[in-house]
Amino acid sequence: MTGTSTVAELVQRQWGDHRVGLRDRSRVLSHHQVAAGAAARAALLVDLLPRGAEPHLGVLLDNTPEFPLWLSAAALAGAAVAGINPTRRGAELARDILHTDCRVLVTERARLPLLDGLSLPGIRVLVTDTDAYGDLLAPYAAAKPGDAVVGPVGPRSRMLLSFTSGSTGAPKAAICSQGRLAAAGASLVAHFGVREDDVHYICMPMFHGNAVIADWAPALAGGAAVALRDRFSASGFLTDVRDFGATYFTYVGRAVQYILATPAHDDDRSHRLRLGFGTEAGPVDAARFQARFGVRLVEGYGSSEGGAAIQRTPGTPAGAIGRAAAGEDLAVVDPATGDERPAAQLSPEGRLLNGDEAIGELVNRGPNPFEGYWRHPEADAARRRGGWYWTGDLFFRDAQGYLYFAGRTDDRLRVDSENLAASMIENILARWPATTGAAVYAVPDPVSGDQVMAALALPEGRPFDPAAFADFLSAQPDLGTKMTPRFVRVLPRLPVTATNKVHRVALRREGFRCGDPVWWLPEGEDLHRLLTAEDVADLERSYEEQGRGDLLGR
């Protein structure tokens, strides 16, 4: 492992290793078979890519063995993988594929309906669970790692194009090189003591950086096995962990909450799992998870861009993310001036007493591995202002140097660990004939991240029709699965500032506790219903139980 500088070298190291390397419910491959399968796919890719084309392929798959096989193949070939988010729809989905210059798209039959009617000129679509796909691969079965490349294979070679939403417009594709991905894997191997007899359970979607950077890469670097779940299932989590002999997994906060909601049993600690690594579980749920399953959850902060990282270490206070990772010069600064913010003052209960002066944007003032966005120089410049890396996230720091997440500097919403752009949701809601205006903004989730709230202006005297609204939403081809508003505030007109801009600050401050009617979509229900005083009281209690009551304000 020492000195390995590329993902390709890590894949090549699997050659000749006949231990179990990759499996799901229907397939078991040795490390050697993974390397051989990757070599065959790399050779096929080289033949399929047109001469002079960018060496990029899109992968629109559930977590099947084909996903890591194509990641490995891309590394061997010197190509880059764009993970395509299946919750995107219509023209927005086509835009993601075309923007990243993919000339090959790897998908499966279950995802083909997403491509119906899309214009994808010059793109070869491979459908993995078909006879035609097997026939296409067959001539390359004897390929070996290194036989076929489309360009230089080195630490600077592009490896991933990971979409990450900004405040406005379409998602940006963050570049991750082979060197950075290999280094991230090696760092986690050292940090968590990954061993060759470990099994990394991947239940988070592999189009997201969480699964690839924090789960697949350390397994590859440490020689551990990978076990896949096609899509996350809370009810199937413990069964998978036991059947696969899993020792490590990654998560996002909502997933942890779903697992905790499953019925408890006397044998909940009967498994090999020892560690979970992720973001946004929240201290309350992390403690509950450890108490029930005997598994420690380690919280971290990072992004697909790789510009700043925070690691939770023993002794980190409740509510804090942790301290800056080794070698990073992180500071909380005034976004307007760049001046460092003073330390936070916290009450004995952990309440922030000087938020106005302590909260600022988190920046990395030292060298960092941010490698830019694909074909987006404006976004690159915004991230690298003044030689610093600007995260776009608000934090505060206590007197001991521990960092606490406080929110976001723009109109992004982070729902189930996915960033959403408010403007894109507004554009969809504006199509509803019943409304004369729409504003979308974040309200805090009781556990972690945000929930989507929309303010809709309806003509005087026109009632909100939840059934008609549901029918409208279901008919929108570009409405992603996480974009549906949890709360809908109905008012005769949108509040505006003196410059005639929508007064988002006021909307966010009032949230769902406002003077106008609010309709909400409780978990598991299909139609919005009127939010009552009893509902508000129940919601407030849920925030307090999770230690997030302060985020509601007032």
User: In CATH, what number is assigned to the domain containing residue 167?
Assistant: 3.40.50.980
Q: Are residues 370 and 490 in the same domain?
A: no
Paired sense of beta strands 80-83 and 158-164, if any: parallel
Task: Give me the mean pLDDT over the 34-48 stretch.
Answer: 98
Q: Are residues 393 and 420 in the same domain?
A: no
- pLDDT at residue 120 above 70? yes
- Does residue 284 fall inside a structural domain? no
What pLDDT shows up at residue 150? 95
Average pLDDT, the chain: 91
pTM above 0.85, yes or no: no
- pLDDT at residue 166 above 60? no
Give percent of the chain with pLDDT exceeding 70: 95
Least confident of 34-48, 157-171, 526-540: 157-171
- Does residue 293 fall inside a structural domain? no
What pLDDT shows up at residue 207? 93
End-to-end CA distance of the chain: 53
Q: Are residues 173 and 314 in the same domain?
A: no
Q: Are residues 506 and 392 in the same domain?
A: no
Among the candidates 183, 198, 225, a domain finishes at 183
CA distances from 348 to 49, 301, 314, 317, 550 (A): 61, 25, 20, 12, 14
Q: Are residues 398 and 435 in the same domain?
A: no
Among the candidates 383, 408, 433, a domain finishes at 408
Q: Are residues 25 and 164 in the same domain?
A: yes
Task: Give me the mean pLDDT over the 278-307 stretch.
Answer: 86
Tokens 């949108």 sit on residue: 494
Q: Are residues 118 and 18 in the same domain?
A: yes
Assigned token pair, 7: 């993902």
Assigned token pair, 185: 């894997």
Domain with residue 476: its CATH number is 3.30.300.30
- Does residue 254 fall inside a structural domain? no
- pLDDT at residue 498 above 50? no
What pLDDT shows up at residue 167? 41
Domain with residue 379: its CATH number is 2.30.38.10
- Does residue 295 fall inside a structural domain? no
What pLDDT shows up at residue 358? 87
Give percent of the chain with pLDDT exceeding 90: 69
| Alpha-carbon torsion, ordered 276, 240, 218, 450, to 10 deg | -50
Question: Helix-strand-coil percent breakdown of the chain, rounded to 5?
Answer: 30, 25, 45
Q: Which neighbouring-strand residues pair with 441?
A: 453
User: How many domains does one find in the chain?
Assistant: 3
**What confidence tens digit (pLDDT) does each residue in 258-275 have?**
898 789 999 999 999 999
Among the candidates 148, 183, 218, a domain finishes at 183
**What confidence tens digit (pLDDT) does each residue in 307-355 have?**
999 987 888 887 788 999 888 899 999 999 999 999 999 877 666 778 7
**CA separation for the pair 249, 201 (Å, rounded):** 5
Sign, CA dihedral 427-429-432-437, equals negative
**CA separation for the pair 176, 371 (Å, rounded):** 7
Of the pLDDT bands very low, low, confident and very high (cuts 50, 70, 90), residue 168 is: very low
**What confidence tens digit (pLDDT) does each residue in 366-412 have?**
988 999 999 999 999 999 999 999 998 888 899 999 998 876 676 56
**CA separation for the pair 406, 391 (Å, rounded):** 13
List the Cα angle 539/544/545 in 5-degree steps: 95
Task: Give me the mean pLDDT over the 52-79 stretch.
Answer: 98
Task: Give me the mean pLDDT over the 159-187 stretch.
Answer: 86
Query: DSSP labels for 429-491?
Result: HTT-TT-SEEEEEEEE-SSSSEEEEEEEE--TTPPP-HHHHHHHHHT-TT--TT-S-SEEEEE
- pLDDT at residue 481 above 90? no
- Does residue 294 fall inside a structural domain? no
Q: Are residues 32 and 167 in the same domain?
A: yes
- Does residue 292 fall inside a structural domain? no
Q: Are residues 452 and 390 in the same domain?
A: no
Q: Are residues 511 and 542 in the same domain?
A: yes
Q: What range defines the domain where residue 542 resides?
A: 412-552
Query: DSSP labels for 306-324?
Result: -S--EE--TTPPTT--BEE
Q: Are residues 338 and 417 in the same domain?
A: no
- pLDDT at residue 122 above 80? yes
Q: Are residues 67 and 144 in the same domain?
A: yes
- Does residue 60 fall inside a structural domain? yes
- Does residue 276 fall inside a structural domain? no
